[in-house]
Amino acid sequence: MVRHQLDTLMQMCERPFSTDKSHATDANIYYHISVGVSCFPKDDNEVTGLLTKAEKALDYVKQHGGDDIRWYDEAIESATAGSLELESELRTATIEGQFVPYYQPKFSLETGAITGFEALVRWQHPTRGLLKPVHFINAIIAHKLSFDLFSQLAIKIVKQLSVWQQQGFHQHVCINADAAEFSHPDFFDMVSTLLTENGVAAHQLHIEVTESSLIQRHDNVKKQLNSLRELGVRLALDDFGTGYASLSYLQEYPFDFIKIDKSFISNIETDRTQHAIVKAILDLAVALDMQVVAEGIETEQQRDVLLDMGCKIGQGYWFSKPVAADVATAMLIKQNASK
């Protein structure tokens, strides 16, 4: 690639969300540019070798969120080797059903009663033990396995809801979904068939979408979210306040819940800025007739401050860490017994 082309691309990468209105149409055009570069003769003497290395650098950029430029180097070579192994393991995991939902209860801050659960994926890795999403979720997205992961978890979660229902526990479970998953043409049919086949009401399933994944603007997201909402599935905007278009997402998509990210809760007892931001989110939710869930409550004091501010539902390590299904069931049984 000649130098001036590269310079132009680098400039474009520095402003990935620019909107070109020079060709006056009624639609905004969004572009994302990822670039991988290899250098002759440092990286290779042959054209094919140079292209392979530039592609490896490009894959690396895409796996790390895209919208960037990266020069090939040794670090990329070893990351790519690891990535190939991880991809093959992830494909086996999706076929063999190694992903399991852990359940973190959400509580009424007022009464301490469980109001529902958030399902958080764990990978029961054959040799490395139980892995948290930080170790594999980006690779799942990069290798386009999000829909397989979602389907596998949704089946397990809806079956669990059905079991709880038979035991007299009418709970709801929130499942996390990356916006990429909504682009899948079978997404809506899969969810609605699963609910019908297991006799689970749509309002017992909530779907949490992170702000960061909405930035990618995948096709169909809005249409799919509207269809799910019409079906009765409830929708939550996760990690609210951490992206760069939080307010516009509230306007654009039909969310029922806002989840306040734990970064706004961590010092809420003492930090005036955090306090003011959370207060503003709570006021906004009242005005928009939405419900709020506070994430990452780690102390009783944080619970008390949030309750005083009018926040009604929360989750966090102070109440409970995410637990396996049998432990979650035991919590429900214990709660029922103490009524």
By CB under 5 A, the residues from 271 to 300 that bind Mg ion are: 295
Among 62, 218, 298, 335, binds ligand C2E (CB under 6 A): 298
Please report how close the Cβ of residue 255 comes to ligand C2E at its closest, in angstroms: 14
Measured CA distances, 28 to 9, 17, 211 (Å)? 20, 10, 20
DSSP code of residue 203: G
Residue 250: contacted member of Mg ion, ligand C2E, none (CB under 5 to 8 Å, by partner type): none
Nearer to ligand C2E, 39 or 131 (CB): 131
Should residue 176 be labelled a site residue for Mg ion when binding is judged by CB under 5 A?
A: yes
**What does R_g of the chain's alpha carbons equal in angstroms?**
22
Q: Determine contact, residues 106/117, Cβ cutoff 8 Å.
A: yes
Should residue 208 be labelled a site residue for Mg ion when binding is judged by CB under 5 A?
A: yes
Q: How far apart are CA 159 and CA 170, in angstroms?
A: 13
Should residue 148 be labelled a site residue for Mg ion when binding is judged by CB under 5 A?
A: no
Binding footprint of ligand C2E, residue count (CB under 6 A): 24
Helix (H) or strand (E) holding 120: strand 114-125
Q: How far apart are CA 140 and CA 293, in angstroms?
A: 27
Nearer to Mg ion, 58 or 119 (CB): 119
Residue 184: contacted member of Mg ion, ligand C2E, none (CB under 5 to 8 Å, by partner type): none
Please report how close the Cβ of residue 197 comes to ligand C2E at its closest, in angstroms: 21
Q: How far apart are CA 19 and CA 222, in angstroms?
A: 20
16: three-class secondary structure by DSSP: coil
Among 37, 264, 316, 325, binds ligand C2E (CB under 6 A): 316
Which residues are registered as beta bridge partners of 120?
A: 102
Should residue 104 be labelled a site residue for Mg ion when binding is judged by CB under 5 A?
A: no
235: three-class secondary structure by DSSP: strand
Which residues are registered as beta bridge partners of 152?
A: none
Nearer to ligand C2E, 59 or 118 (CB): 118
Binding footprint of Mg ion, residue count (CB under 5 A): 5
Q: How far apart are CA 75 and CA 117, in angstroms?
A: 40
Should residue 211 be labelled a site residue for ligand C2E when binding is judged by CB under 6 A?
A: no
Should residue 68 be labelled a site residue for Mg ion when binding is judged by CB under 5 A?
A: no
Should residue 137 be labelled a site residue for ligand C2E when binding is judged by CB under 6 A?
A: yes
By CB under 6 A, the residues from 231 to 290 that bind ligand C2E are: 238-239, 262
CA 17 to chain centre: 21
Q: Which two tokens stand for residue 131?
A: 């892995």
Binding site for ligand C2E (CB under 6 A): 104, 120-121, 132-134, 137, 153, 176-178, 208, 210, 238-239, 262, 295-298, 315-317, 322
